[in-house]
Structure 1
């Protein structure tokens, strides 16, 4: 496993693999690695011969500077977590390496970025699309893998690949959860044990909505109130949407591919999750 910080070096090394027709898969991360990331890495090894894990906290996708500053960072610990995973490269560039000067261009995500996280985090997905585009151009992977906890992000990246004709196959992997059902997230590190127990109610609530929404038209409002009563600071959204285009679903049809989406705040920490209905 080789840790590389410079764009030119990673491009030179990966060019050799490309010339040898060895398939390359990218696992993009912002570090603060947990078992969810490591599960993606294990899955990546099944897909391609050369595995590249990127570690880069992308300032461009944070609409709140305080949130960016508080995001957990520990590159040494991340490298230690990956050393026995059998990957080939860690690409861990500095901010200056990726954004060598002020950007002259933006990637403006339309339509599907106007709801859910995109509604409450202005230009967040523009920043995501920008860094993913840069990583695809630097790494030139044949494949890339993303967790489905960030389902809106996954859908936007699939559309980015299609619209910009990137030669990358996108793989989505089911959300990894702890024993209580809480979706693994780097932000969980900011919660204490009691708060983690409160947070584990998110998955229970999602399942109760999945099992009862057809018979209870008021269940979303009822569950929002329950979440607040449990101890969450705020329910940003709790909605059922079409998983292909993220259109809001008010009258569910049995043949629709739909998901329940949630974003909540607990002690100032923003947590998201989703669950397929069909």
Structure 2
């Protein structure tokens, strides 16, 4: 800051000197002649060389590279940092040592059996006695021979045995009447359920075809259509045992026409052989369309 102030002062002086030189007018050197008053005046003038040297010194800028003495700063005494807070010391917990209560003795460790101890000798094997040796030798050495079935005896010639032939003829001649009925019953009972069901279905189809041939559309139905289920019971000989409506069509005229068709069919075909019940029931659907 001081150097800058001096530099500005020098510049101001140099400018003033330049102005003075520019405005200065040269006068006669030496002793001037006296004026009218007769006074002697002596004028003194600085030489041009000295003035130029002075101006050059003032115009030369100061050397700023010289170190500038820094003002002395007041020394501040260094203060020690405050001591860091110390953590409170904690006494370590005493380790709990397992102490056996007095009066109780700890169990002694089990002694490991010595591997060098030899195992007990195996029990002696009993020698086979003569009795057991004999029992072991009693097994059969040879396979038994297969027994051959006896040969069938030749049938006796009927011509040589007239008594047997006459007995057979007498049995055949007496197989009439009740014996014949028993034979048919045994034949019927020999059929299984599937065969009986098949025979019943075949017989029912024949009954339906005969009823359909007697079916007539009633005029009282007035164009109505529907299906009537008729339940009829037929004996094994083909006679009608009963007829009833299993499900109505919703039209009374159609229901009555279905019942009349069954009643007017007359005698139905007899049951096929193998059906031994006295009567069978069938449900026939009858459809009426105009």
Give the TM-score range, shorter chain: under 0.3
Q: Which has the higher strand share?
A: 1
TM-score of the superposition, structure 1-length normalised?
0.18
Give the greater-gyration-radius structure (CA).
2
